[in-house]
């Protein structure tokens, strides 16, 4: 765990880049993160910013903090599902941005403008 309570190993992170479509960039170690993602976001409206807690699982969505847009001009969303103790510090959309974005910010900066979908190695987590 990081000092903020969440770690990348407890996260599903879905987003898109300027030229590549919606993808799971982190999968919380799950072979298929889609069922957990769908369950976590099932009751959230399709708003640009949203938050939901279900026990020790939090789903949070917020627009790219740097205001980046894809090639079609759409704002890039960042959607996270947080499991376990890391979910305890995410009690709002604001908390999600404050605690989760720093975990992925540098990696996203590196890949968001790529021509193709990035691999885990491309993310360059340190």
pLDDT tens string 69-114: 999 999 999 999 999 888 999 999 999 999 999 999 999 999 999 9
Whether this prediction's pTM lies above 0.85 is answered by: yes
* Residue 58, strand partner residues: 53, 82
Q: Residue 124 falls within a domain, yes or no?
A: no
Residue 79's pLDDT is 97
Confidence of residue 5 (pLDDT cuts 50, 70, 90): low
Tokens of 14: 């879905």
Domain residues for the domain of 112 are: 8-116
Residue 43 included in any domain: yes
The answer to whether residue 125 is domain-embedded is: no
How many independent structural domains does the chain possess? 1
Q: Quick check: 95 and 111 in contact, CB under 8 A?
A: no
- 1 vs 70: which has the higher pLDDT: 70
Distance (Å, whole) CA 45 – CA 121 = 33
**Within a domain: residue 61?**
yes
Which of 60, 44, 69 is CA-nearest to residue 103? 60
pLDDT category of residue 4 using cuts at 50, 70 and 90: very low
- Can you give the pLDDT at residue 9? 74
- Residue 100 tokens read as 């989760």
For residue 1, tell me if it sits in a domain: no
Give me the mean pLDDT over the 53-79 stretch.
95
Task: Tell whether 24 is covered by a domain.
Answer: yes
pLDDT of amino acid 104? 93
**Separation in Å, CA 46 to CA 41, 43, 78, 104, 107:** 9, 9, 13, 23, 25
Query: Do 116 and 33 contact (CB within 8 A), yes or no?
Result: no
């Amino acid at each position: 765990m990081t000092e903020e309570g969440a770690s990348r190993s407890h996260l599903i992170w879905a987003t898109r880049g300027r030229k590549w479509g919606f993808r799971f960039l982190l999968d919380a170690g799950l072979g298929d993160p889609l069922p957990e993602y769908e369950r976590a976001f099932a009751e959230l409206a399709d708003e640009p910013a949203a938050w939901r807690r279900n026990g020790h699982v939090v789903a949070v969505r917020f627009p790219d903090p740097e205001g980046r847009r894809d090639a079609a001009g759409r704002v890039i969303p960042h959607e996270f599902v947080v499991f376990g103790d890391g979910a305890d510090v995410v009690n709002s959309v604001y908390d999600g941005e404050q605690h989760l974005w720093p975990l992925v910010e540098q990696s996203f900066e590196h890949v968001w403008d790529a021509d193709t979908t990035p691999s885990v190695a491309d993310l360059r987590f340190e």
